[in-house]
Structure 1
């Protein structure tokens, strides 16, 4: 068998196809590194985001190869060979299945090299499940392409299959009647992609998708190997069984979790010494980069009475933040290189707004007047604000003695945390 596989590998463009998929997959990932340089799971999810493109290429590659016998006009000759059709098809299926899966996994590996120096958190099981589902989807696409090329040996078959795959995420919800869980299950590239650094895929969902995609791949293999119409009807059975089993695993959609988050990735990892600086576990590789500017910001804020004593990563950017008075939140963003973005400016970002992040006030709460906040922040930073009203308030602050000015600035910080207007805090005693 190994000799036959080697011959098929040498006489078909399977190896070149794998290299093309490897280059395409790696190129797509490296074209948008800011989406996945936070960690390995976001990398796996982002690669699935581009899966419709890679599946389209695998379908086209398989379809082009599937029409080989028709193109060479040897269909009738092979039909007269004494060996069963399935035995003839197995080497080609193995060659194309293994090469497209290797191309997909190889792109993941090449991209993961970029994270080797900064990403320290990895849930191996969840990561492997997401990558494995993508690889099996590639195998199913290549095998279905082989079957389609054999049954429909036309020049337009390959490009039409590729276009259909490219468009599949756009029509997924329409096909499944708006059921998000079913769209995500049946279309491996739908609904995935790192929305936040803490996104994940539950093991139950990856298992369901693997079962469904394995059935799809088995059906495609049987369809390619089928010698008559009855065998082609049998090819419908594995995809049906796979889909039914997957639905049972997900309990008819009730076990589906929308926008799942990995709680371990959000767990804080802190410095051993004081003042304490903490970041999410998924970002623990940049803790040493964040600590110096965070402590410098804490030192500036230490001029205030009741100053914060800890710096903690800001984890919830799109929701109301429950920030305590003794904490400064770090607006950490991971850059394209996997390191903290603009670490030299991090101190200024943390001191701005007196160490209180935006969105601290819920709903229609008023918040504190911007001119007051800017003037107080400028006093701490030792800079002159640009806004005229804020500049006027800042000038009044600079004429006060240190203790009085610090007390007024601390009052502004308390107002920000309490979502109070703060009018007059810099111009009158409290």
Structure 2
């Protein structure tokens, strides 16, 4: 009965509603990175969970601030002394209020994630059990934040407490988030970043949180929640000081557990599915049938090279890489960052395997270079006899820069057969070691 009353008379319903409205506003009104490769939020439920955790950078301050508003209720309404005379223990009264706030803010978080799951299903995405720890720790973080706000509001019932606490939480959460992003200058040490529930961008549709991160954050948020609840329910100064012990213990246990890399491969989405020597990730199982035939044809063409590759596999790296992985025995294709391959026909898939004589570029995926692209195009054309644009993100960029590559191809064709073969072998070695200019290796002077 009392719990139902708290659900109606507290700020809990409005806090949960604000969380839902703000989160869905971000997700649907902004194009944001969550709609784009390599980690669209509709591709995998675990990726969806990671993006919702990312949004806690903005949502957690709202939750903490709302909790502070609610925490000031009794003191500002002049009911503190009256409630203190009742026979019911303070912790029981606090439990109803804290339970109501936690239930509806946690429910709001789950509603946002539920909308994301519906989007994944509507886009024929992948449903993975890897979402469970990501979502669970996120809910625990939301609950801990709401109880922290309740405690601060109870201790400091001033009109500026709630907005001030929300701003401080936003600043702290942003600094923690920045320490987790690989491309940003940071103020806080990277190991401190996971103390906030917001995570860095997933940057891949086959990643999830590391087990040690989940364990560390679970301990930390549990300690924070316990401290918040104790501060809400105890009265004496001594008891309040003792209430800080769970928070201190949570930090002491969590910090050593936090890993250097917070994201790792999702063992469900990244699991290999193979047809002989051709393998893709479980997330892209539907591409295996399309790749199997062209992949075998391309491997047969490459077989005449010394140390030729014998397998084609999908690259499932858990984070952005400065240099794509390379292996003399494996041709790696990146379906995550090169979404053109997800729609490519048999001809383009064969061309992708033959590109660079079976070796990926030495440049980061987002860096297109005439020498690199041109050399890999000519290497593929050596086997097919026709110079064609590669099926990758540089396709549109290449249209205005095709002249030098076509000239280099004509010079390459004019070379004797044994020289062309030796140049392709040399290019393959240059791409495997990432030493030298690729186009200059095939056609000396063409890169100038």
TM-score, structure 1 as length reference: 0.75
Q: Helix, strand or coil for the counterpart of 1:8?
A: helix
Shift in alpha-carbon separation, 1:122–1:75, aligned structure 2, 3 A: closer
- What CA distance in whole angstroms lies between the structure 2 residues aligned with 1:167 and 1:369? 42
Which segments of 5 or more consecutive residues in structure 2 lack a partner in the other structure?
Answer: 180-185, 365-369, 390-398, 431-435
Shift in alpha-carbon separation, 1:158–1:84, aligned structure 2, 3 A: same
Q: Helix, strand or coil for the counterpart of 1:312?
A: strand
Structure 1 residue aligned with 2:333:
330
1:403-423 CA-to-partner distances (Å, cap 9, x unmatched) read: x87x76654442222117676
Shift in alpha-carbon separation, 1:94–1:369, aligned structure 2, 3 A: closer
Shift in alpha-carbon separation, 1:77–1:422, aligned structure 2, 3 A: closer
Structure 1 residue aligned with 2:246:
238
CA contact (8 A) 2:175 2:188 kept: no
Shift in alpha-carbon separation, 1:239–1:409, aligned structure 2, 3 A: same
Find out whether 1:219 has 2:230 as its counterpart: no
Query: How does 1:176-325 map onto structure 2 within 5 Å?
Result: 179-181=189-191, 183-189=192-198, 192-244=200-252, 246-247=253-254, 253=256, 256-259=259-262, 261-262=264-265, 264=267, 269-272=272-275, 276-280=277-281, 284-289=282-287, 291-292=289-290, 295-296=293-294, 299=297, 306=304, 310-316=311-317, 317-319=321-323, 321-324=325-328
CA contact (8 A) 1:202 1:260 kept: yes
CA drift at 1:267: 5.8
Structure 1 residue aligned with 2:154:
150
Query: How does 1:369-388 map onto structure 2 within 5 Å?
Result: 373-378=376-381, 380=384, 381-383=386-388, 387-388=402-403
- What CA distance in whole angstroms lies between the structure 1 residues aligned with 2:372 and 2:258? 46
Q: Helix, strand or coil for the counterpart of 2:209?
A: coil
Query: How does 1:42-121 map onto structure 2 within 5 Å?
Result: 42-116=47-121, 117-121=124-128
Find out whether 1:415 has 2:422 as its counterpart: no
1:326-379 CA-to-partner distances (Å, cap 9, x unmatched) read: x4332312699xx96554695355554444310289xxxxx9886555445456
Q: Helix, strand or coil for the counterpart of 2:280?
A: strand
Task: Please provide the CA RMSD for this pair.
Answer: 4.1
Shift in alpha-carbon separation, 1:37–1:353, aligned structure 2, 3 A: farther
Structure 1 residue aligned with 2:35:
33
CA contact (8 A) 2:212 2:257 kept: no
CA contact (8 A) 2:424 2:442 kept: no
Query: How does 1:151-170 map onto structure 2 within 5 Å?
Result: 151-170=155-174
- What CA distance in whole angstroms lies between the structure 2 residues aligned with 1:86 and 1:304? 72
CA drift at 1:97: 1.2
TM-score, structure 2 as length reference: 0.72
Which segments of 5 or more consecutive residues in structure 1 lack a partner in the other structure?
Answer: 362-366
Structure 1 residue aligned with 2:133:
129
Name the larger-Rg structure: 1
Number of residue pairs matched? 397
- What CA distance in whole angstroms lies between the structure 1 residues aligned with 2:303 and 2:132? 50
1:19-54 CA-to-partner distances (Å, cap 9, x unmatched) read: 221333344455423334453444333333332322
CA drift at 1:57: 0.9
